[in-house]
Structure 1
Amino acid sequence: MKVLVPVKRVIDYNVKVRVKADGSGVDLANVKMSMNPFDEIAVEEAIRLKEKGIASEIVVVSIGVKQAQETLRTALAMGADRAILVEAASDVHTDIEPLAVAKILAAVAKEEAPGLILAGKQAIDNDLNATGQMLSALLGWSQATFASELSVEGDAATVTREV
């Protein structure tokens, strides 16, 4: 089974963010960026599934700026098999809305035909927690949110939720 894992480039969680002087947003100049920690957990779970022989291929996908290549390289270094970058913005200050991301991910999913999509529960930059649910609705797939444990047997998955 192919597993698709969306990953997002965000300000590193150890960095103290600075607000621009005009108050219009976050100053991203010379700020360390990294993979969203919740997406990193999803990549790790996909790798566990591959080690168990359940997953045959792990494809990571990032939607955003060209610099997201670094995030994809991190996922490849962790053990992902392939990476896809969809350049949807040229400016690092441009945040792509969750519905637009979900629509792009749905198109990627239709092309890649994964058996499972593992997404992090939310991005630490905007905390919206919306893209995964929108993607599920667009694909007409079942979903489980806030998973703390995943067990896959054949075409069925059992999910334990955070409580």
Structure 2
Amino acid sequence: EPAVAFLHEHAIQRAHTVDTVRTYMEILYDWFDTLEQSGIVWSEADAVDLIAYRNRMLQNPSAHTGRPYSVRTVNHRVRGILRFYQWAVRHGWLQASSLIGRKRDFAVARRARGHHRRYGDGDDRSFFVLRQFQELPRPLTSAQARELLAELRPPYDLMARW
């Protein structure tokens, strides 16, 4: 089984942490479960299947937590699936996959985005990965600010008050 070989390589040969391997396992379990429910063989999954999977996570809350998926979580799962398919091609489990190596080469993407190039060519920018915005830091509450000021020693207390 390619998924087991992928997880084994990451656990043993690449010496990833138990948490990392568990995360990969959860991603692949959910992906393979989705494919099975849809009657799709994993080796025949294509861009439409991955986009449907991604969009399902955006539209429905997590069955595990009941909360909506964050964009970061969705992107993490999509990248995990893409990483698995890259590995499968590299190790001969698949001859080729439409999920890898063609980040911007989908006719659907060209129609949707037009000919404008608004973003850089970073490796994370692909047709599958959603745009993420950096979260702003939350300000301290009045009580937290008072507690912080009470703990600061000179001259740092003056710097904070200024």
TM-score (norm 1): 0.32
Higher Cα radius of gyration: 2
**Structure of higher RCO (CA pairs closer than 8 Å, 6+ residues apart):** 1
The structure whose residues are more often strand, as a share, is 1
The TM-score with structure 2 as length reference comes to 0.32
